[in-house]
Amino acid sequence: MRIVLLLGLLLACAAASGQAREPVIGLPCEGCEAVFDGLPAQLSSRARIAPKSEPGAPMVVVGRVLDAAGRPRAGVVVYAYQTNSQGVYPQSPSVRDPETRRQGTLRAWVRSDAAGRYAFDTIRPGSYPGEDVPEHIHMHVIEPGCSTYYLDDIMFADDPKLTRKQRDSLVRERGGDGVSTPARKDGVWYVTRDIHLGRNIPGHRACAAPNR
């Protein structure tokens, strides 16, 4: 009985410390473990990154999660975080982990639906003050039971800071092309970011479709 209890305690401790989480691949990846910090137990295919009260131009991000054969994949977790309209990551002093705190409070998770679709409601992010870095939204995925890795950021083709030089230095098509051409309707920006699992991700292996 003592052995059984000890094993149970060790397993619980391993899960609590993150050892039971999906491994990070596609290294190097500073702060990738923060994808698990605050991850809700229940997820839907649509979530809000920036609250409705957040100043800025409203934006809707939509896309599909696809496997290597181009088939939709359900049950994949997509994580996103971004700056506010001033190009700053708002921080909360109550957040303990320094990397999670650095990523700010404008962050959210979704789980792709039966057709592989996902959506985020947010605002258009600002670029970093005083820098030539284009506007962007950071993206990661968690393939349940398999791995987690970062994708190319969502960037915007109409951003004057997204020069050819910046494209060449930033765009690697990790998980597919992250550069989207925004369309504006009734004051809302709409962008599409399809995710191709494992594309250009070092160390990726095909994963079984997760149970939903």
Q: Are strands 117-123 and 137-143 parallel, antiparallel or unpaired?
A: unpaired
Which uninterrupted H or E stretch holds 179?
strand 179-180
Centre a 10 Å sphere on the Cβ of residue 51 and count the other Cβ atoms it contains.
Answer: 11
Q: Is residue 42 part of a domain?
A: yes
For 30, the domain range is: 25-196
Q: Is residue 2 part of a domain?
A: no
Give the count of domains, the chain.
1
Q: According to the model, what pLDDT value does residue 207 have? A: 81
| 157, amino acid identity | A
Q: Is residue 172 part of a domain?
A: yes
Q: Is residue 204 part of a domain?
A: no
For residue 118, give the CATH number of its domain: 2.60.130.10
Q: Is residue 165 part of a domain?
A: yes
User: How distant is the alpha carbon of residue 58 from its chain centre?
Assistant: 19
Q: Is residue 208 part of a domain?
A: no
Q: Long-range contacts of range 133-137, CB-CB < 8 Å, 24 or more positions apart? A: 133/161, 133/166, 134/159, 134/161, 134/162, 134/166, 134/170, 135/159, 135/161, 136/82, 137/49, 137/61, 137/80, 137/81, 137/82
Calculate the alpha carbon distances from 71 to 92, 176, 195 in Å.
39, 14, 11
Instruction: Give the pLDDT of the chain (212 residues) as one tens digit per residue.
Output: 444 333 333 334 434 444 469 999 999 998 899 999 999 999 999 999 999 999 999 999 999 999 999 999 999 999 999 999 999 999 998 898 999 999 999 999 999 999 999 999 999 999 999 999 999 999 999 999 999 999 999 999 999 999 999 999 999 999 999 999 999 999 999 999 999 999 999 999 988 776 55
Q: Is residue 29 part of a domain?
A: yes
Q: According to the model, what pLDDT value does residue 193 have? A: 98
Q: Is residue 99 part of a domain?
A: yes
